[in-house]
Amino acid sequence: MAKHNFNAGPCVLPKQAIEAAIEAIRDFDNTGIGILEISHRTPGWERVMAEVEQLWRDLLNIPEEYAIFFLGGGASTQFFEVPANLLKTKAAYLQTGVWAKKAVKEAKFYGEVEVVASSEDKTYNYIPKNYTIPTDADYFHITTNNTIYGTEIHEDIDSPVTLVADMSSDIMSRPVDIKKYGMIYGGAQKNVGPAGVTFVIIRKDLLGQSGRKLQTMVDYATHYPEEARNHSMFNTPPVFPIFVMYQTLKWVKEIGGVEEMYRRNKEKAALLYDEIDRNSMFVGTAAKEDRSLMNVCFVMAPGKEDLQDEFMAFAKERGMVGIKGHRSVGGFRASIYNACPKESVEALVATMKEFEALHTK
């Protein structure tokens, strides 16, 4: 039976990226040697590095004043590398979920942290709206998509201070006005590749400005020296995850870029949210205006709670994988990232309809 992969991360990747990765393990770039065994200093690899940087620039319209590089350690490592590099005296954070809360915790190692607003009071089921960004903060940190709760900041907000965004779970899902941000980072494993590589996009004038003595690897300036061929190559980069990311971005470009991705994502999300709102068995958990295009969270409708396990088994029998909600929210979460095909969403919607029919006859 065909599987429909709704895992929250790592998650579904484009088929053609997987095929290219399998081929590259056998033979990279017609060298007769597989990608897991080549040196990262070979010309073929240096070309991939240059092309992957260019793909990022083309797909997201990243201007020349911004550096882009790739690291290990996941988004979680950036939770402390961001303040190490950017926090001089004080930083401001919007606390929209546990990822944001973890970022707050790490920032406190480096200075004063002001949480301008938090939605923890309601299990992070909405995005706080009326808050003031302190103008004396070195930066303001947001999490654009809250993977666990299914809420998303849909606009590029205006900030009077440097805006820093964790875009782990919605990067490349919609066009972004890069110039509104000082820095954007995230783990690749939700929308742009497999686990093992982290992307950092940062305005070059923010490099080397912390006034703090930093360990070489922690200092962002290390990873983007002026000579173009050495970006992300201070030490051995995560070669294989970067290769799969490269293939994933080539696919995004081929289907029509981030604009087309956004159109597809809105279409998929509408299909599923419309069904949740229509179907008497289920209710959505996130505030409607803040609903994420990437992670769709829902629970059994009031009075139907005891059918939760039954629906889980029913869906599993029909090939649905990874729809169990995070333990802090319960119920179900369907992650419908870029590479999740519309057919999978249609299959889930059909399953929900079938389940309702079974229980309302």
Ligand X SMILES: *Cc1c(COP(=O)(O)O)cnc(C)c1O
Residues 296 and 287: their CA atoms lie apart, in Å, by 11
Least gap, CB of 7 to ligand X (angstroms): 11
Least gap, CB of 97 to ligand X (angstroms): 7
Q: Is 288 a catalytic residue?
A: no
Q: Which stretch binds ligand X (CB under 6 A): 130-138, 164-172, 244-252, 319-327?
A: 164-172
Among 16, 42, 76, 279, binds ligand X (CB under 6 A): 76
Task: Choose between 75 and 352: whose C-beta lies nearer to ligand X.
Answer: 75
Note whether 173 binds ligand X by CB under 6 A. Answer: no
- Consecutive H or E run containing 141: strand 139-143
Note whether 75 binds ligand X by CB under 6 A. Answer: yes
Among 34, 44, 72, 74, binds ligand X (CB under 6 A): 74
Q: Is 45 a catalytic residue?
A: no
Note whether 72 binds ligand X by CB under 6 A. Answer: no
The residues with which 297 forms a beta bridge, in sequence order, are 333
Note whether 152 binds ligand X by CB under 6 A. Answer: no
* Torsion sign, CA atoms 184, 57, 148, 242: negative
Note whether 82 binds ligand X by CB under 6 A. Answer: no
The token duo for 297 is 């969270």
Task: Choose between 74 and 225: whose C-beta lies nearer to ligand X.
Answer: 74
Note whether 194 binds ligand X by CB under 6 A. Answer: no
Buried b (16+ CB within 10 A) or exposed e, 281-294: bbebbbbeebbbbb
Count the helices and strands in the chain (H runs, E runs): 8, 14
Residues 221 and 203: their CA atoms lie apart, in Å, by 11
The residues with which 185 forms a beta bridge, in sequence order, are 166, 200
Note whether 99 binds ligand X by CB under 6 A. Answer: yes
Q: Which stretch binds ligand X (CB under 6 A): 70-78, 235-243, 262-270, 321-329?
A: 70-78
Among 14, 83, 150, 187, binds ligand X (CB under 6 A): 187
Answer whether 292's CB lies under 8 Å from 170's CB.
Answer: yes
Among 53, 81, 106, 166, binds ligand X (CB under 6 A): 166
Residue 43, preceding peptide bond in cis (omega within 30° of 0): no
Task: Choose between 282 and 337: whose C-beta lies nearer to ligand X.
Answer: 337
Residues 316 and 294: their CA atoms lie apart, in Å, by 21
Note whether 162 binds ligand X by CB under 6 A. Answer: no
Q: Which of 45, 99, 219, 268 is catalytic?
A: 99
Q: DSSP letter at 298? A: E
Q: Is 277 a catalytic residue?
A: no
Q: Which of 138, 166, 219, 290 is catalytic?
A: 166
The token duo for 24 is 């590259």
Q: Which of 190, 251, 290, 324 is catalytic?
A: 190
Task: Choose between 141 and 268: whose C-beta lies nearer to ligand X.
Answer: 141
| SS3 of the chain: helix, strand, coil, percent, to 5 | 40, 15, 45
Q: Count residues contacting ligand X (CB under 6 A)?
A: 12
Answer whether 116's CB lies under 8 Å from 92's CB.
Answer: yes
DSSP per-residue string spanning 314-355: HHHHTTEES-BPPTTT-SEEEE--TTS-HHHHHHHHHHHHHH
Buried b (16+ CB within 10 A) or exposed e, 135-147: eebbbbbbbbbbb
Least gap, CB of 133 to ligand X (angstroms): 20
Least gap, CB of 145 to ligand X (angstroms): 6
Quick note: the x/- pattern for ligand X over 6-25, rule CB under 6 A, is ---x----------------
Least gap, CB of 302 to ligand X (angstroms): 29
Task: Choose between 45 and 238: whose C-beta lies nearer to ligand X.
Answer: 238
Q: DSSP letter at 246? A: H
Most distant CA pair in the chain, distance: 69
Note whether 143 binds ligand X by CB under 6 A. Answer: yes
The residues carrying an active-site annotation are 99, 166, 190
List residues binding ligand X (CB under 6 A).
Answer: 9, 74-76, 99, 143, 147, 166, 168-169, 187, 190
